[in-house]
Amino acid sequence: MLSHPQDGLNYHCAAPSVQEAAQSQQKRKPITMSEPKHHAADVEAQTSHDLPHEHEHEEEEEPDSPINDPKDESSEADPKEKVIQQPRRRRPSLVGSALRVVRTQSSATAAAAFSHPLSHSKTGPELRVDFEGKDDPYNPKNWPFKKKVITTALYGFTTMGSTIASSIYASGIDQISSEFHVGTEVSTLGISFLLFGFGIGPLIWAPLSEVYGRKQAVLIPYFISAVFAFGTATAKDIQTVLITRFFAGFFGAAPVTNTGGVLGDIWDAKTRGTAIVGYALAVVAGPTLGPIMGGAIVQSYLGWRWTEYLTGIIQLFVLLLDIIFVEETYPPTLLVYKARRLRFQSGNWALHAAHEEWDVSIKDLTRKYLVRPMNMLATPICLSMATYASFVYAIFYAQLAAFPIVYQEIRGWGQVTGALPFLSLLIGMLIGAGANIVNQQFYIKAYTRGGGHPVPEARLPPMMIGSVLFTGGSFMFAWTCAPVSIPWIVSNIGLALVGCAFFMIFQAALNYLVDTFQRYGASAVAANTFLRSVFAGAFPLFIKPMYHGIGPNWAGSVFAFVSVLLIPIPYLFYVKGKEIRRRGVWSRESVHD
């Protein structure tokens, strides 16, 4: 293709044949060496300007082209009058030309869209929206007391819906084994898989709650968990049961993980302990009531599938209440809402929240949030507290496999009555909750002396007492559950002590983690949830062979001896906790000298 500039215009024509080229050579004045050199340069410049990427679409010139043939007559002309031959160009395709035009236009459009006279101007701190005193309705800590209580209760019921799913399944293990022709060990995997999902889920839902807010990071996964509960209820084989149980736990872990963060959002340090009592009761009441509810359903004509139907129905009902009454509580997200409203009201579009300055990327989420809970487990505080809480939590779930052996096989109780000893655990938990509420008064005094800052070590006295009670109750249950000549009430008193101590340890560990890591509290709770779910998922798998192999007395004693080794943990942190917190990357913010 030829390109000629003339009077500012471009003329394009196809390359002529050899004869036409000779005739046109005689008719038009050739460009000689005596003419200004810049003219040929202008031709090249104009051509390259009009066809910016034409070389990408051109084909190579054939070596015997008449224009470039060294035997051509023009090559024998006088050097002074030698014609500068224009390189022949082929006509570009219409598609290639169109693509170049679109590319040029889109580049110009993109450049125009991201340019503005004020694009390089900076906004000052005065344009960053924040909470304004105790009267700011956007600050969740300024909400009315009634609204806080309703929010706490609804998140507690939401959590209970997930934890009921973890234990109600246990009542139908024998029926599941019979229907799908598998051993009870395989059916028990349904408990373990859900708890493993509880352990992995927090690694996703905790960081998402700190990016998109608590409400979205809880309600959306919770709905999916309910769907998988119905999937378990309609399963046609054991593989489907196990897979749906895992994902029910994975998505159901969202409220278990993020409710602690919600309570930190709406309650101040003085009142947070009492609120966490309600949350902790919801966490443990679900597994306690689940076997009793499941036993009644399985013994009826409904069968094991209705334990899963009931789980899904409960979750959807609570979800409906959450959609109606629950509001967002995460302060950075609420400040985004506030900034958005102020922009529309004032017309000042520079107003923004600090959260909007954060350019979220998958890399950042992976590095800062997905990995952070695992990194926290490497810290002395999180590892010690999470290990202790995970152990007592695992013992709690171990009873799902131990009680049928002790009370149904050895004592000959029925399926429903064999699950009633869980009520002894629940009674003990209520006593432990009362002890934690009493300790709240001690904490408030320490909080006041600390200048209005959280004092994590003031959370530990119940844990210190509970560590001793847990060991005593474990030994008492282990050596009175069998033989049958020992009255059943004695072993149940031991269970009540275990339940009381369990709650005191469990809640104190949660309070201590939240007060220690503060704005990273959700991730700390996620790390704790991960570890305790791994423990709780593994324990039921070996309880049955362990109790059958060495007997219930020594099997229970093994766990009691392990609990003896854990007694020093709360005492150590009560004495040296402040020094350890000062050395931590995530915990040093909680130190106020």
What residues does each domain of the chain span?
Answer: 131-329, 372-584
Alpha-carbon distance of 58 to 468, in angstroms, equals 86
Alpha-carbon distance of 53 to 548, in angstroms, equals 80
Where on the phi/psi map is residue 452: left (φ > 0), alpha (ψ -120 to 50), or beta?
Answer: left
- What integer pLDDT is reported at residue 84 of this predicted model? 45
**Number of residues in the chain:** 593
584 close to 381: Cβ distance less than 8 angstroms: yes
Alpha-carbon distance of 515 to 586, in angstroms, equals 11
Alpha-carbon distance of 290 to 262, in angstroms, equals 25
pTM across the whole model: 0.73
CATH number for the region 372-584 comes to 1.20.1250.20
Q: Are strands 128-129 and 9-13 parallel, antiparallel or unpaired?
A: unpaired
Indicate the residue type of 233.
Answer: A
109 token code pair: 């459009």
> At 478, phi and psi to the nearest 5?
-60, -40
320 close to 201: Cβ distance less than 8 angstroms: no
- What integer pLDDT is reported at residue 227 of this predicted model? 97
> At 353, phi and psi to the nearest 5?
-100, 155
- What integer pLDDT is reported at residue 392 of this predicted model? 93
73 close to 122: Cβ distance less than 8 angstroms: no
330 close to 209: Cβ distance less than 8 angstroms: yes
Alpha-carbon distance of 546 to 554, in angstroms, equals 9
Other CB atoms within a 10 A radius of the CB of residue 154 amount to 19
- What integer pLDDT is reported at residue 340 of this predicted model? 80
Going from the C-alpha of 118 to that of each of 350, 352, 384, the distances in angstroms are 11, 16, 53
What is the helix, strand, coil percentage profile of the chain, to 5? Answer: 75, 0, 20
561 close to 479: Cβ distance less than 8 angstroms: no
Other CB atoms within a 10 A radius of the CB of residue 224 amount to 15
- What integer pLDDT is reported at residue 562 of this predicted model? 95
- What integer pLDDT is reported at residue 168 of this predicted model? 93
pLDDT in tens, 54-109: 334 333 343 343 334 434 443 444 444 444 445 555 555 554 555 455 455 555 55
Alpha-carbon distance of 211 to 217, in angstroms, equals 9
SS3 91: coil
The answer for residues whose C-beta is within 8 angstroms of residue 32's C-beta and 6 or more apart is: 80, 81, 82, 83, 84
351 close to 339: Cβ distance less than 8 angstroms: yes
Other CB atoms within a 10 A radius of the CB of residue 47 amount to 20
Rounded to a whole number, what is the distance in angstroms from the first to the last CA of the chain?
82
Alpha-carbon distance of 17 to 24, in angstroms, equals 10
- What integer pLDDT is reported at residue 195 of this predicted model? 92
SS3 32: coil
The answer for residues whose C-beta is within 8 angstroms of residue 79's C-beta and 6 or more apart is: 33
- What integer pLDDT is reported at residue 530 of this predicted model? 83
The answer for residues whose C-beta is within 8 angstroms of residue 456's C-beta and 6 or more apart is: 511, 512, 515, 516, 577, 581, 590
pLDDT truncated to tens, each residue of the chain (593 aa)?
444 444 443 434 444 444 444 444 444 444 444 444 444 434 333 433 333 343 343 333 433 433 344 344 434 444 444 444 455 555 555 545 554 554 555 555 555 555 555 555 566 666 666 777 787 888 888 899 999 999 999 999 999 999 999 899 998 999 999 999 999 889 999 999 999 998 888 888 888 888 888 999 999 999 999 999 999 999 999 999 999 999 999 999 999 888 878 988 898 877 777 787 877 787 788 888 899 999 899 988 899 999 999 999 999 999 999 999 999 998 888 788 777 877 888 777 766 666 666 777 777 777 666 788 888 888 999 999 999 999 999 998 898 889 999 998 999 898 889 889 999 999 999 999 889 888 888 888 888 888 888 889 999 999 999 999 999 999 999 999 988 999 999 999 999 999 999 999 988 998 898 889 887 776 787 788 889 888 998 998 899 899 999 999 999 999 999 999 999 999 999 999 989 998 888 888 888 87
Going from the C-alpha of 174 to that of each of 178, 491, 549, the distances in angstroms are 6, 25, 20
Alpha-carbon distance of 528 to 215, in angstroms, equals 21
Name the class of domain 131-329.
mainly alpha
